Amino acid sequence: MAMKKSDINILIVEDDSFMREALSAAVKRRGYKAVAVAKPDEAQSIVKIKPIHGLIVDVMLPGLNGVDLVLKLKENLIEGAALVLISGIYKDSMFIQDAIKKAEALNYYTKPFDMDVLLSKIEEGLNDYIEVPKVDLHSLLALPFASPRERRKALDHVEEMLGYDLPFVFCILMDAESSGYLNIIDEKQNIYGITFANGMINKVDSESTSIVTKKILISHGFVTESEFGELGPKKSGGDLLKNLISEGLMSPHVLGVAKVETYVSELKKLIGDNKLKINFVPDRKIQPDKDAVDIGALTQYLHQMIDEKLPSEWLKSFYSTWLGHPICIGPQFADHINLLALPILTRAPHIIESFKKELTIEEIQTQHPEYTDEIFYKALHLMMLRKMLIFEEVKRVKNIDEHINRLKSIYDEIKLSNPIEIFKYFGLGDNPRSTEVGRVYKEFAKSHHPDALPPNVSGEVRKLNHELFSKVTAAYDILSNDEKRERFNNEMKQKEAERQIKSDELVMSSATLLGRGQYATALSQLEKAVSLYASERCLLQYWWAKFKASGLTNAEEISDIDKQMKSMSPHMRKTALWVFVSGLVKRFSGDLVGAENDFTRAIGLEQNFMDARRELTQIKANKPTKMTAEDILKGDLSTVFKNLFSRKKGA
C-alpha cells in the first residue's frame, strides 16, 4: 500500500559497526525508518515483527552469507521488497552476477561505494510503496467536505500554474463561496481580474474585455454597429453592458447570456500550455450582482473548456498521482445528474457503472479498453471538478493476496503456540524479560494494530489481522504481568509433567515394538511422543524407527541427526542405545566400518542387545571375505558353510 516515507522500513544487515551506522544515518536522512542489525538471526527476527520494504545486506556475514540470508528472509518478506547487496570482499564479476540473480537484488555494490547512488537504487524499488506528495490543490479531489477556508487556503500555496489548471481553480473558489479578487498575469504580462462574490463571478476584466463583449453582442444580434456608435466614446468604456441597457440600446433580458459568454471567452484565452501567475485577495464585503454568474450557469461552458482546451496528455499527467486510489461517488452526484447528458459523458457508455464499483483508474481502463485516454480523462475531469466523483485518500492495498498470505503465514506459525513460543517466534529466548516482550510487542503493534489498517481493506484482511493481533496481545498481556506470568508458568509446568508422562509411556511401548521389528507402528507412536516431550531417549528411539521404517537416505537429515546426537548429555552418549543409533547413522551414511565398530561397542555395553547383533551380522554377511585354513578351523560353522557355498555358487 502507498505510505509516507517515514512509514517505510529499510533493514540494514552489516556486521561492520562503522558502515552500519553510516548506512543507517543515510537512510534516515532520506526520510525512511532504518532498522540496523549485525547478525543474520537478528534480521530473521525483525522480519517477523514488522514489514520490511527495503534491504541493504552485506554478503559477508558471521555464520551465514548474505545471499543465503536473503533467501531465508523471503519467507516473511513483503513480495517485491527492494534489495541491494554490498561487499568489500567479494568483487568477482561472475560471483556478483550470480548473487544478484539468486537473491533477486536490484544491484550489488562493492565497497567503497557512493551512498547516494545506492540509496537512489533502493528508492527505485520502493516506488510502488511511496505515496507521491500531492500539492494541496490536488488533495481537494479526495476531500469533498473540505471547508471553504480549507479550499481557499489550498490556493495560498500556489503562485504559478499552467493555464490548464484554471477550470479547477474556478470550481474551488465557486464551491467555497469565496468573495474576493483573483488576479492573473499571463506570460505576455497581460493582467486579468476576476471578481467573486459568494462563489459567483461578478466580473471578468482585462484590457480586451470591451472588445470581446462587443463582438459577442453583434454576433448574437443583440446590438448593431450603429447602436454602438450612439454610445459615444465615454460610454463605450467602463461597464459596457450596463451603459447599453441604460441608454435603451440593449434589452436587460440578454444581460445574463452576454455576461456568461464574455467571461467564458476571456477565460478560454487563459486556458492552455502557458504559465500564469495567480493571486487571490479575499474581500468579504463584495456582494453578488443581480446578474452574477453562478456555478450552475458556468457548468455547461466548463464542459466546453475541458473538451476543447484540455489535451488528454495533460489530464493523464494531472491524475498520475491518483493512480491506485479507488474512485467513489461524490456528494454532489445527485445534484448534477443532468450533466450525464453532456457529450463528454455520453461518449463513454457505462462509465458511471464503473465509477459506482469504486474501481481505480487502472482497473477501469483495463476493463474498458474501448475508453481512449481522450474519452476517459475528460469524462473523469468534468465529474471530479463538479464533485460528482472523489478519490479515496488511501491507495488500494497493492497485491492484496500478498498481504493476506503474509498475515496467514504468521498466524499459522503461532495460532497453536503458547505465549513463550509466540515471542520465541519473534526472536526472544525461552525466558524473556518483560522489557524485551514489551519492546517486541510495541514494534509488532506499529505494523499490525487494527487501527493502522487503511479504511478500504476487505473484511477478510480486517478479520485475519484482528485474530493475529488478538493472539499476540493476549500473549503480551500474560508475559508482561507478573501475577499472570507466574500462573501461566505453573500451568505450563503441570502440562509439561503430564506430557512427559504420556511421552514416556509411548517410548516404553515403542521399545517393545522396535524389538519385534514393527518399525512403522513404533514410528507412529514415537512421532506422538516427540510432539509431547522430546527426551533424549525418545529422540534416539524415534530416529531408530525412522531409519528402519523408511530407509532414511537424505544426507542433510542424517547429518542433522548426527549433530543432535553429539550435543546430547555425556551420560546418554555412554549408553548402548546411543551407540547403536550412532551405528545406524554411520551405516545409512555409507560408513560400514564405523557402523560395525559402533554395533560391536553396543553389544559390549549390553550383551542381550539383539538388534545390535542383527545389524552386525548383516554387515558382516554383506562384507566380502577370503577364507583361510585357520578361518575354517576357528570360525563359526554356519559362517564357514555359508562362505563355502557362496564361493561354490560363484565358481
Does residue 288 fall inside a structural domain? yes
**Cell triple for residue 516?**
519385534
631 vs 515: CA distance, rounded Å = 32
354 vs 285: CA distance, rounded Å = 44
- What pTM does this model have? 0.48
330 and 300: one domain? no
Of 527 and 649, the one with more pLDDT: 527
Of 17 and 404, the one with more pLDDT: 17
Provide mean pLDDT across the span 561-579: 94
Does residue 339 fall inside a structural domain? yes
**Could you tell me the CATH number of the domain that includes residue 596?**
1.25.40
Does residue 364 fall inside a structural domain? yes
Q: Residue 243: helix, strand or coil by DSSP?
A: helix
193 and 300: one domain? yes
157 and 304: one domain? yes
Does residue 200 fall inside a structural domain? yes
Confidence of residue 648 (pLDDT cuts 50, 70, 90): very low
CA 382 to chain centre: 33
257 vs 546: CA distance, rounded Å = 94
**Could you tell me the CATH number of the domain that includes residue 109?**
3.40.50.2300
144 and 217: one domain? yes
Does residue 130 fall inside a structural domain? no
304 and 335: one domain? no
171 and 280: one domain? yes
Does residue 648 fall inside a structural domain? no
How many other CB atoms sit within 10 Å of the CB of residue 380? Answer: 24
pLDDT of residue 176: 84
The closest alpha carbon to 193, from 213, 212, 179, 207, belongs to 207
* Last residue in a domain, options 480, 495, 525: 480
Read off the pLDDT of residues 417-475 as tens digits, 9 standing for 90 and up.
Answer: 999 999 988 888 888 999 889 988 888 887 788 876 665 567 888 888 889 999 999 99
CA 242 to chain centre: 62
Of 505 and 245, the one with more pLDDT: 505
pLDDT of residue 2: 59
**Cell triple for residue 238?**
467602463
Read off the pLDDT of residues 262-317 as tens digits, 9 standing for 90 and up.
Answer: 888 888 889 999 899 999 998 989 999 888 888 888 888 888 899 999 999 999 98
How many other CB atoms sit within 10 Å of the CB of residue 536? Answer: 18
The closest alpha carbon to 1, from 328, 426, 404, 411, belongs to 404
Does residue 520 fall inside a structural domain? no
Does 144 have pLDDT greater than 80?
no
304 and 316: one domain? no
* Angle value at C-alpha 159, between 154 and 164, nearest 5 degrees: 85
**Long-range pairs for 411-420 at CB < 8 Å and ≥24 separation?**
411/464, 411/467, 411/468, 411/471, 414/468, 414/471, 414/472, 415/471, 418/475, 418/488, 418/492, 419/474, 419/475, 419/476, 419/478, 419/479, 419/488, 420/479, 420/492
260 vs 292: CA distance, rounded Å = 9
Read off the pLDDT of residues 322-380 as tens digits, 9 standing for 90 and up.
Answer: 888 889 888 888 878 888 888 989 998 888 888 888 888 998 999 999 999 999 999 99
Residue type, 588: F
Provide mean pLDDT across the span 599-626: 88
pLDDT of residue 533: 92
343 and 429: one domain? no
pLDDT of residue 293: 85
* Last residue in a domain, options 125, 147, 178: 125
Contact 37, 43 (CB under 8 A): yes
Q: Work out whether the CA dihedral 620, 622, 623, 628 comes out positive or negative.
A: positive
pLDDT of residue 43: 94
Range of the domain at 579: 552-642
- Cβ-based neighbours of 376, under 8 Å, separated by 6 or more: 348, 351, 364, 365, 368
Range list of H helices, 325-372: 343-346, 351-356, 361-367
145 and 286: one domain? yes
**Cell triple for residue 482?**
507478573
Q: How many structural domains compose the chain?
A: 5
455 and 328: one domain? no
79 and 146: one domain? no
* Last residue in a domain, options 448, 480, 512: 480
Confidence of residue 400 (pLDDT cuts 50, 70, 90): low
Does residue 650 fall inside a structural domain? no
pLDDT of residue 100: 95
Of 359 and 636, the one with more pLDDT: 359
461 and 443: one domain? yes
